[in-house]
Amino acid sequence: MAGRILIVDDEKDMLTLLTRIISEETDHHVTADGDPLNALNRFKNEPFDLVITDLKMPKMGGMALLKEMKKIRPEISVVVITAYATIETAVEAVKLGAYDYITKPFKRERILLTIDKVLSWQKMLAENITLRKVLAEKEGVPPMIGATPRIKKLFEKIKQVAPTTATVLITGESGTGKELVAKALHHNSRKKNEKMITVNCTAITENVIESELFGHVKGAFTGAWKDKKGLVEIADGGTLFLDEIGDLSLSMQTKLLRLIQEGEFKPVGSTFTKKADIRFIAATNHCLEEDIKEKRFREDLFYRLNVIRIEIPSLNERKEDIPLLARFFLKKYALLNQKDIFDFTPDAISALLSQDFPGNIRELENLIERSVIFSNGERLGQRDLFPDNTPSNIPDIICPEFSREIMDLPFREAKEKMIQLFHVQYIQSVLENSGGNISRAAEQAGIQRQYLHRLMKEVKINAEAYKSKPEKSTF
């Protein structure tokens, strides 16, 4: 992503040099100013991402400029360059908040590397601020991420259904985010300021769940030393989310049916009926229609729950969302584990896209968290994600034995390497097909014979090596 860089130096030659280096090698927008006071006014009015300033300047020195800029925007990154380097000035600059201190004369690569690091750091800071807001939000407002048509339709359905009082049945495989949908429904409902109580129907044992849901009175059973409110009563006025409702026993389904149908329930051991005003949301990874046929789920309860149905696609049905989700989890766990990891390598994204995720989003999240913990680099690579094996269906780019190595190189180096490898393999192929006949190879490639000669010379390929091989059919 292109950044905005302000260069401040009273030497015109230095301004020209720095502007040319940055403009030729990057896409960043450069503003050069030889007057530090004028540069300070620019800084007040324009959103610069990085400031590069000389130390010794008339009107205002680099240290004073650094102080003033930090007062205006404490988060701004400033790089100080000087021909009069001393340990004292370097220490002072760092204390005042300078990102780096570079001495003149400097190498072109030194400036470019520093700019790249600064802007990557700035990007990560901005994203971490956003992420902190997400993590600081209350539990009832979880992030939902996706851009595929099916997910966009899901978001639209949530917006339409949430403000109503209708009971909602959420279906989908384990790990697809059913609880996130339930929380989104509650947060966007009229009951958003009331409680949302979640009941995991799988986690609570059969002999305990009735008491947990409806409460009990003192003496109802051994160990019932006092009256206890159930989750239904606690959720009164708010939302009750019944997760994995397909695992409820038939006897509990009967009692739940009355609650949903009449808004009434009895605590265990009580002879009195209580009322509850609740919005019901249920979720399951079962096919309840099949469970009804097998007599494992009550048909009347199903129709009470299935007023509005929201089906969540599996992660394998929305693979285009994998990079978005992976980057969100990367930012989340890099922040939580204090790791300076800001992105994935291209081969890592290819690996994720080629992978099947039977555990859906939960499996992807666990994979990213584990990879962040064990990685020591600035980007997660394929080997960080899959250290023990490489997914077999990841397409190799041009040359299988070099593709992973190439993807770890800087962009320009990787591009040059890829072009060179392409030339080698393509020329080898056309020469092999033509039996080493250069004229025929050039004709097959659709290029001039002289150009093919030049390419062969550049990549050191000799046509003689292919003349002994029989010519391949082009049909």
CB atoms within 10 A of CB 256: 28
Residues 110, 238: one domain? no
Angle of the 322-336 helix axis to the 108-136 helix axis, nearest 10: 90
Q: Which domain holds residue 327?
A: 317-395
More confident of the two residues 104 and 196: 196
Residue 10 buriedness (CB in 10 A; 0-12 / 13-18 / 19+) = middle
Single residue among 346, 364, 395 that ends a domain in this structure: 395
More confident of the two residues 376 and 466: 376
pLDDT digits (tens, 9 = 90+) for 145-176: 888 888 989 999 999 999 999 999 999 999 99
pLDDT digits (tens, 9 = 90+) for 259-307: 999 999 999 998 899 999 999 999 999 999 999 999 999 999 999 999 9
Residues 176, 305: one domain? yes
Q: Is residue 400 part of a domain?
A: no
pLDDT of residue 445: 81
Residues 225, 342: one domain? no
pLDDT of residue 359: 93
Q: What are phi and psi of 356, to 5 degrees?
A: -90, 140
| 166 touches 308 (CB < 8 A) | yes
Q: What is the CATH number of the domain that holds 177?
A: 3.40.50.300
Residue 329 buriedness (CB in 10 A; 0-12 / 13-18 / 19+) = buried
196 pLDDT band, cuts 50/70/90, is: very high
Residues 64, 211: one domain? no
What average pLDDT is seen over the chain? Answer: 84
Q: Report the pLDDT averaged over residues 438-451.
A: 81
More confident of the two residues 234 and 402: 234
pLDDT digits (tens, 9 = 90+) for 353-410: 888 999 999 999 999 999 999 988 888 988 899 887 644 444 444 444 445 556 666 7
Residues 178, 273: one domain? yes
| 18 touches 32 (CB < 8 A) | yes
CA distance 295 to 302: 12
Angle at 36 between CA 50 and CA 125, to 5 degrees: 15
Q: Is residue 140 part of a domain?
A: no
Q: Report the pLDDT averaged over residues 13-38.
A: 89
* Predicted structure pTM score: 0.56
Q: Is residue 403 part of a domain?
A: no
pLDDT of residue 469: 38
pLDDT of residue 463: 76
Residues 382, 309: one domain? no
Residues 285, 329: one domain? no
Q: Is residue 107 part of a domain?
A: yes
Q: What is the CATH number of the domain that holds 339?
A: 1.10.8.60
Residues 324, 289: one domain? no
Q: Is residue 473 part of a domain?
A: no
Instruction: Report CA dihedral (456, 458, 460, 463) to the nearest 10 degrees.
Output: 10
pLDDT digits (tens, 9 = 90+) for 121-147: 777 666 655 555 555 544 444 568 888
Domain tally for the chain?
A: 4
Q: Is residue 52 part of a domain?
A: yes
Q: Is residue 12 part of a domain?
A: yes
Q: Is residue 141 part of a domain?
A: no
* Lowest-confidence region among 57-66, 224-233, 458-467: 458-467
Residues 155, 109: one domain? no
Single residue among 278, 313, 348 that ends a domain in this structure: 313
73 pLDDT band, cuts 50/70/90, is: confident
Residues 181, 72: one domain? no
Q: What is the CATH number of the domain that holds 65?
A: 3.40.50.2300
SS3 337: coil
Residues 346, 452: one domain? no
More confident of the two residues 173 and 104: 173
pLDDT of residue 401: 44
Single residue among 295, 313, 331 that ends a domain in this structure: 313
Residues 182, 299: one domain? yes
pLDDT of residue 163: 94
